[in-house]
Amino acid sequence: MNEPPLTRLIEDYRLRVENALDRYLPAATEPPERLHAAMRDAVLGGGKRVRPLQVYLTGESVGVELSVLDGLACAVEMIHAYSLIHDDLPAMDDDDFRRGKPTLHRAYDEATAILAGDALQVLAFSVLSRPDSGPRDPESKLAIIQCLANASGTSGMAGGQVVDIEATGKVLSLPELEQMHLLKTGRLIQACVKIAALCCSGLSAEVSQGLERYGRDIGLAFQIKDDILDVVGDSQTMGKTAGVDQALEKATYPGLLGLESAESKAADLARSACAALEPMGSKADRLKELAEYIVSRQR
């Protein structure tokens, strides 16, 4: 039997998580209608769905059923969507477009955008704590909630966003830049790998540690590639404005290392991510392909 190519799986899982998100998000006909409509627009209006993909591919590699992973994939995408809404606000990056469309505070208003973000964050935890989503074992569910909460808080995404804002217009050292991105993007991507692995109770320490390392490395590689695309990418292909980082005087890898070194750092990280999965043998093939995809993507 021929295995489907990764591009096919990416498409399948994208559709799968979008269907699941549609089910978990409150209907736009249910009050408060405007808030629900804003949440749905923000979450269902496109996106690469890299984080859900990470959840599904990791879960599959350790033998977890897809239906167990749906709630987790939705929760991380809701957290991601909320962070984009708040990052785009006038008080933060003040972005007018996202994925080729007006940002949420432009399409609605600032108050609605703030509240839609708030409500999406908490909906993620509502989904994870539901008896009918995620793994059955309550201890695993709690470990997943703990992991995602910590990845989103001040030692993760929210902390990274503050460092990002404070760093704007300053010259960072490479360790400072790396720390910022580990927090801002890395922890959540790492959490995608970890929460999927937490659905499987029988993992060896070797495999768990390998996945931990893999998550860390591809999280950083993903952000470096994002920085690179902001420089070399085409606004049309990416669905967002290229060159924004430079205009905002953001600290980036290409800015600090030059384009070529940034590319090779991303490739190194993808390789080391794959090396960490050796204990899993061929079960890790898809995850290795994903690492490749993350650093070679054009959007």
Chain positions contacting a second copy, by CB under 8 A: 26, 31-32, 34-36, 39, 82, 86, 89, 91-92, 109-112, 114-115, 117-119, 121-123, 125-126, 128-131, 138-139, 141-143, 145-146, 149-150, 152-155, 158-159, 161-163, 165-166
Q: How far is the CB of 161 from a second copy (least distance, A)?
A: 6
Q: How many CA atoms lie within 13 A of 13 on its CB side?
A: 29
Taking the complex as a whole, the smallest distance from the CB of residue 169 to a second copy amounts, in Å, to: 14
**Residue 73: CB partners within 8 Å, gap ≥ 6?**
13, 16, 17, 20, 51, 52, 55, 56
Nearer to a second copy, 44 or 259 (CB): 44
Q: Which is nearer to a second copy, 145 or 259 (CB)?
A: 145
Give the nearer residue to a second copy in terms of CB position, either 82 or 253: 82
Q: Which is nearer to a second copy, 61 or 152 (CB)?
A: 152
Smallest gap, in angstroms, from Cβ of residue 13 to a second copy? 26
Q: Tell the smallest beta-carbon distance from residue 40 to a second copy (Å).
A: 11
CB closer to a second copy, 5 vs 153: 153
Nearest to a second copy of 242, 248 (CB atom):
248
Cβ at position 130, least distance to a second copy in Å: 7
Least distance to a second copy, CB of residue 143, Å = 8
Nearer Cβ to a second copy, position 124 or 273?
A: 124
CB of 58 to a second copy, least distance (A): 21
Q: HEC profile for the chain?
A: CCCCCHHHHHHHHHHHHHHHHHHHCCCCCCCCHHHHHHHHHHHHCCCCCHHHHHHHHHHHHCCCCHHHHHHHHHHHHHHHHHHHHHHHCCCCCCCCEECCEECHHHHCCHHHHHHHHHHHHHHHHHHHHCCCCCCCCHHHHHHHHHHHHHHHCCCCHHHHHHHHHHHCCCCCCHHHHHHHHHHHHHHHHHHHHHHHHHCCCCCCHHHHHHHHHHHHHHHHHHHHHHHHHHHHCCHHHHCCCCCHHHHCCCCCHHHHHCHHHHHHHHHHHHHHHHHCCHHHHHHHHHHHHHHHHHHHCCC
